Structure 1
Amino acid sequence: MKRIGILGGTFNPPHTGHLLIANEVRYAGDLDEVWLMPTAVPPHKTAAGDATAEQRLHMVKLAVDEIEGLRASSFEIERGGVSYTYDTMSQLIQDEPQHEFYFIIGGDMIDQLPTWYKIDELLQIIKFIGVKRPGAVSASDFPVQMVETPQLDLSSTLIRQRFLEGGTVQLLLPPAVEAYIREERLYGSSTSSK
């Protein structure tokens, strides 16, 4: 039975912080793989409509392409609709009973766990692995296995703003993702970098 971590999110765009968390949790949590799973329609935050679900998935594939143990998952995008963790994980467990799943959440999401859809039922089927995030309390009465990772205060919002303003994004996201964003002219980017 493989131990699989699920790192969900909008990934609009995927960046170095996402990859750092996925890789650190993979090793610290003794996981076989971590699947980065872009949401189709996220319930917690709505991203600007300038990158489609398919484009976000493609960027995740580019980001993890050569990183051992990390994989892009199209599961939620293929399902479509609002992405509630309970519904996603119930279906994933049904489809992939040979795996044991762990759901990776940042400190900001840990603080919001009491508001999650069917949280008590969710805790019956998966285990949470939490990572601290700058500015979040990262504490919960719910069982969350905390993993120490280097904290990088980096967001997709910041990166989209940098593209819009023509600022540098070097080292903030993988070069292949930056090239794709410029090629597709996402986030108000130009074809050349600074």
Structure 2
Amino acid sequence: MTSIPEGSEDAGLRRRILDTARHLLVQDGYQALSMRRIADAIGYSATSIYLHFDSKDALLHALIHEGMMELRDRLRDTAVEHSEAPVERLRALCECFVEFGLENPEYYEIMFQLRPERMERYPAEKYRAARKNLDFFAQALERGVERGIFEVDDSRVSASTVWASLHGTVSLLLADRVDVRIDPETFIDTAIRQALRGFRASAPSVP
């Protein structure tokens, strides 16, 4: 599919299609989404939708990719800002992930929680681009290992466990399933501190 100049009428329609599809996906689920429903919602023909996206799976893939690239840009900026200190860098990356999820609940649900029973395989090039988000965490851990601050056997596995903890934190907050007696900021801070604590290198034993 050829690229569409930003600011053009086609680009504006594509944006409306994506935004409408995102709302409908979160509101009604994957099975209820159709090109016809999107077309009706924005006042265009279904044919106009197909000029931009071959299928609703292509639309879903585009939304996932958009979210992943926005997250990537935030994580990249955070990694650059905290490039010297591994602990602070990893903590800042964790905070960035949680902040992204809470600020973008629709994207977050589509990226990490939507589970269609039948969906075309996510394109390999988009998967490789999304996987770089995890690399920011792995690289922070590796830098900590180099400096004797962290102990990890496999940085990608360890980075994935951090993501799992953060995902649980974000999911509970978005679903409003955290005990009302618990302050959300304290909940987030504790989750991140506990995730980081698991990688800290043990102090050498004293003879």
Give the TM-score normalised by structure 1: 0.25
Give the TM-score normalised by structure 2: 0.24
Q: Which has the higher strand share?
A: 1
